[in-house]
Amino acid sequence: MLPRGAYSPAATYTLNHVVLYAHDSWVCKALDAQGRAIEISGIAPDDVTYGALYWQAMTDGGRAAVAVGQQVRTDFDTWFGTDANSGVQKTFSDWFSDVLQTGVRYLWDHWFSDLLPTGVCYIWNHWFGEAPTEQSEGSGVQKEWADLKADATAATTRANTAAGLSEAWNTHPPYIADGTAEHPGDLNYWYLYDITTGLRVKGPYSKGDDLDYSTMTPEEIQQLIDNIKADLIFASDAECEAAAEEIVFTVALSS
pLDDT in tens, 53-103: 999 999 877 777 777 777 777 777 777 766 666 677 677 666 666 666 666
| Within-domain flag for 167 | no
pLDDT mean over 107-123: 68
pLDDT at 253 over 60: no
249 in a structural domain: yes
Residue 157 lies in a domain: no
Q: Assess if residue 75 is contained within a domain.
A: no
Kindly state whether residue 229 falls inside one of the protein's structural domains.
Answer: yes
- Name the amino acid, one letter, at 46: D
Q: State in Å, rounded, how far the first CA of the chain is from the last one.
A: 160
What pLDDT is attached to residue 27?
A: 97
Cβ–Cβ under 8 Å, residues 146 and 138: yes
Alpha carbon distance 14, 121 (integer Å)? 81
DSSP letter string, 220-247: HHHHHHHHHHHHGGG--HHHHHHHHHHH
Which among 249, 250, 244 is positioned nearest to 212, based on CA atoms? 250
- Tell me: do 188 and 221 sit in the same domain: no
3-state secondary structure of 189: strand
3-state secondary structure at position 41: strand
Per-residue confidence (pLDDT) for residue 251, from 0 to 100: 46
Could you read off the pLDDT of 141-197 as tens digits, one per residue? 888 888 889 899 999 999 998 888 888 878 888 888 887 888 887 877 888 888 888
Tell me how long the chain is: 255
CA atoms within 13 A on the CB side of 140: 11
Check whether 26 has a pLDDT greater than 90.
Answer: yes
Pairing outcome for strands 2-6 and 17-21: parallel
The total number of structural domains that make up the chain:
4
pLDDT of res. 181? 81
Whether residue 62 is found in the same domain as residue 106 = no
Specify the DSSP class assigned to residue 135.
S
Does a structural domain hold residue 152?
no
71 part of a folded domain: no
Structural domain span for residue 91: 81-125
